Amino acid sequence: MTAQRISRRDFLRISAAGAALSVLTGCQNPRRWVTLEPFVSPPEQQLAGVPTWYASTCRQCPAGCGIVARIMNGRAVKIEGNPAHPLNRGKLCARGQAGLQVLYNPDRLQGPVRQEGRGSRQFQPLSWDDALLSLVSKLQAAGDKVVFWLGSTISGHLYDLFQRFASAINAPDPLVFDLYTAFNGYPTLIQANQGQLPAYELGQADVVFSFGADFLGAWLSSTRYGIEFGEFRNQSLGKRGYLVQFEPRMSATGAKADRWLPLRPGAEGLVAQAIARLIADQGAGPTDRVERARALAADVDVGSIAEASGISAEELGRLAQIFAQYDRPLAIPGVPLAGKDQAAGIIAAVQVLNLIAGVAGQPGGQELPPAAPGLLLKRPAISSMERVRQVIDQMAGGQVGALVVYGANPAYELPDQAGFAGALAKVPFVVSSTPIIDETAVLADLILPDRTYLESWGYTVVTPGFGEMIVSSQQPVVGPVFDNRSLADVLLAVSREIPLAAGGLPWADEVAFLKESLGQLAGSEDPERFQADFQQHGGWWQKTAPALEAPETSPEKARPLSPINFLGDEQEYPYYLHLFMPTLLSDGRGASQPWLQGSPDTNTTISWQTWVEISPVTAKRLGVKQGDIVRVTSPAGELEAPVYLYPALRPDTIAIPLGQGHTDFGRYAQNRGSNPIHLLDVEAGGAGWVTPRVRITPTGKRAALATFENQVGVTEGFINEAFPGR
């Protein structure tokens, strides 16, 4: 009780009076005297015990869902979807809900720190003034050799400021790279869709063929695709959409599919081409489709594709019939293929199906990007893997004087083989702005912790907007928890001290800049009034202008694909490796949030751990049981993790979730599980990741799996063995 009193006193400065009472656990003996300590000055619009709601934008992934935060006595106690927001319509995924634990994470830095000796983890606090002085001098010393490495969830205004800053000091345009977008293949999807991420309106589709797209998991927007899926199954007049999923391991989307077809990893594009071919050859469906199929389908041999993919020719024929005969079929290219060496070709092969169906730009089809939005607002441009390679090479070559990392964690997100850590050692000055010390911050000299998104200003241009142009607003829903500065203000302050930059960023502070940027949306409305409405309602949106034309049907698209290359010799490495992004931890950024760590993964019910999914067929052959620790070795790296017997997985494939294996990133993430990204390879000079083959070796050790479902054979003795010293 005493300890709680002390901590309570500490946070009273930032929170409210009576509310603090709820902090003590409910059923203990009451103290005889309890003091009430009201605010000296109350937070704006707060009445003790009465909730206030503030609209903002979620930044747990790049989708840009609208949120409302419930504020009680100055504390944020719940995040919910913004019902007025056209993207997520009041709904919110698990990660969005967990945003409170970004804000109130116990491992947040309370101010800037300096690290003496990279990797030493000896962090010395320093004042903001000293930190800024140091930043200014180092940036000046680096001249134009400054690289800004940003995450995809950055607010548009901050991205804009970074761009302006970079261009003022003649540095290269900021790099935008994080694992979420890279693993989901954003750069390739954007390239294949006239410069924007595609939107699939499956809510009105009759038949959906998903080529490995786990759109109900951590894909482009799990909340919006969840809404679309609800509509897909409950269409008017009792119609229920039909979902076919092609993937080697059953994802959440696969579990909901009417037909789940476990094809060989990497054969997604081949199957799409076979279906197109069969529509042409069988004359399936209406004549216009057959004609388009004859023009567009690649000249492939269905028999050999059947063999390569593991889906029989008869099955492929039935699928072609199903796809061609319904009014609104839709094909969606997905995750695992977007990262493979022929990503662009595979996406094109899947899109050919939509072109044949003639559903591009139709309701229930693939939404075409709107005509030029005419907005000066910024949307971070996701960088390609080529650019990432280039920057790493420059760093390694000593051509980068300073690296500024914001909202990304490349030291965790890139395979060892990419050589990021080694290259970083050649950069004289590294600064990170992470609110919690992460793997990249451990390799940095200076950490300027940014405010979290629930304490910050900003906006997001939501693309795709599913038929609407959406600018989602972000505002602080609570006052800053610590005396941390927003990075936008840091940039503006720094630019005043650097002669070259001063002219490029003339704004007094972040809010002044944001107001000016958003002014263009106000139109004829009073700008002050527009600002107020914009913040209050969670953004600005309107139906989009006429869409762009359907993409040209070039003969390039008809080029037959060859099978995917996997790294490693088939004899030495007999299994395909299938990495997937779990819904909760996603690319690892959720690992610091106990709600996401401690909630069970749906298909395995495992929490807190990394596991290796093996088909029971394969496990029998290898002689391993559930909970046995195996070593997974690829040509690029290896890891050890316990086995989970996963019945819905190809026997020739091993699946491992991303997200764990942090060496830093706070108490909930640290030293927990393994990071399977190091099993991958980054193709030298190429555009994508190379997926390897792997080998499995039993280690003879066992681990206690933290499953929520019942387990046979877990005894107290075994638990004590698994958790020694506790």
Task: Write out the binding residues for another protein, residues 613-642 only, by CB under 8 A.
Answer: 615-617
Cβ-based nearer residue to another protein, 103 or 296: 103
Token representation of residue 212: 């490995």
Cβ-based nearer residue to another protein, 176 or 639: 639
CA distance linking residue 263 with residue 352, whole number of Å? 20
- Contact window for another protein (CB under 8 A) among 78-86, 143-151, 507-515, 539-547: 78-86
Contact 268, 561 (CB under 8 A): no
Cβ-based nearer residue to another protein, 203 or 635: 203
CB of 203 vs another protein, minimal distance in Å: 11
CB of 527 vs another protein, minimal distance in Å: 31
Q: b/e string for 662-698 if b means 16 or more Cβ within 10 A?
A: bebbbebbeebbbbbbbbbbbbeeebbbbbbbbbbee
CB of 28 vs another protein, minimal distance in Å: 6
Site for another protein in 195-214 (CB under 8 A): 207
The reply to whether 392 sits near another protein by the rule CB under 8 A is: no
Binding mask 90-119 for another protein (x = CB under 8 A): xxxxxxxxx-xx-xxxxxx-----------
**CA dist 453 → 61, 64, 104, 400, 491 (Å):** 12, 12, 12, 29, 17
CB of 88 vs another protein, minimal distance in Å: 8
Site for another protein in 476-495 (CB under 8 A): 481
Closest by CA to 364, choosing from 482, 228, 486, is 228
Categorise residue 468: left if φ over 0, alpha if ψ from -120 to 50, beta otherwise: beta
Contact 297, 270 (CB under 8 A): no
The reply to whether 522 sits near another protein by the rule CB under 8 A is: no
CB of 225 vs another protein, minimal distance in Å: 8
Beta-bridge partners for 697: 631
- Contact window for another protein (CB under 8 A) among 422-430, 492-500, 643-651, 682-690: 643-651
Cβ-based nearer residue to another protein, 133 or 714: 714
CB of 720 vs another protein, minimal distance in Å: 10
CB of 342 vs another protein, minimal distance in Å: 25
- Contact window for another protein (CB under 8 A) among 237-245, 340-348, 520-528, 541-549: 237-245
Residue 716, amino acid: E
Residue selected from 71, 298, 382, 596 as contacting another protein according to rule CB under 8 A: 596
For residue 165, what are the contacts with CB-CB under 8 A and spacing of at least 6? 148, 171, 491, 495, 501, 504, 505
Closest by CA to 92, choosing from 63, 60, 67, 61, is 67
Site for another protein in 664-683 (CB under 8 A): 667, 672
- Contact window for another protein (CB under 8 A) among 8-16, 111-119, 275-283, 349-357: 8-16
The reply to whether 184 sits near another protein by the rule CB under 8 A is: no
Residue selected from 60, 152, 163, 253 as contacting another protein according to rule CB under 8 A: 253
- Contact window for another protein (CB under 8 A) among 219-227, 491-499, 557-565, 675-683: 219-227
Binding mask 326-355 for another protein (x = CB under 8 A): x-----------------------------
CA distance linking residue 338 with residue 581, whole number of Å? 13
CA distance linking residue 105 with residue 592, whole number of Å? 8
The reply to whether 84 sits near another protein by the rule CB under 8 A is: no
Beta-bridge partners for 52: 71
- Contact window for another protein (CB under 8 A) among 17-25, 147-155, 652-660, 690-698: 17-25
CB of 26 vs another protein, minimal distance in Å: 4
Residue 140 phi/psi, 5-degree rounding, is -65, -40
Q: What angle do CA 680, 194, 190 make, to 5 degrees?
A: 20
Contact 244, 292 (CB under 8 A): no
CA distance linking residue 17 with residue 21, whole number of Å? 8
The site that binds another protein (CB under 8 A) totals a number of residues, namely: 122
Please identify which residue in the block is written with the tokens 């990279």. 118
- Contact window for another protein (CB under 8 A) among 226-234, 354-362, 363-371, 397-405: 226-234
CA distance linking residue 368 with residue 477, whole number of Å? 35
The reply to whether 5 sits near another protein by the rule CB under 8 A is: no
The reply to whether 532 sits near another protein by the rule CB under 8 A is: no
For residue 670, what are the contacts with CB-CB under 8 A and spacing of at least 6? 662, 663, 664
Cβ-based nearer residue to another protein, 384 or 707: 707
Binding mask 260-299 for another protein (x = CB under 8 A): x-x-------------------------------------
Residue selected from 5, 114, 118, 259 as contacting another protein according to rule CB under 8 A: 259
DSSP 652: T
Binding mask 20-59 for another protein (x = CB under 8 A): -xxxxxxxx-x--xxxxxxxxxx-----xx----------
Is 44 exposed, middle or buried, given 0-12, 13-18 or 19+ CB atoms closer than 10 A?
Answer: exposed
CB of 655 vs another protein, minimal distance in Å: 14
The reply to whether 76 sits near another protein by the rule CB under 8 A is: yes
Residues across the chain? 726
Cβ-based nearer residue to another protein, 223 or 384: 223
CB of 601 vs another protein, minimal distance in Å: 8
CA distance linking residue 119 with residue 353, whole number of Å? 50
Categorise residue 208: left if φ over 0, alpha if ψ from -120 to 50, beta otherwise: beta
CB of 672 vs another protein, minimal distance in Å: 8
The reply to whether 123 sits near another protein by the rule CB under 8 A is: no
CB of 441 vs another protein, minimal distance in Å: 19
Please identify which residue in the block is written with the tokens 């069969």. 278
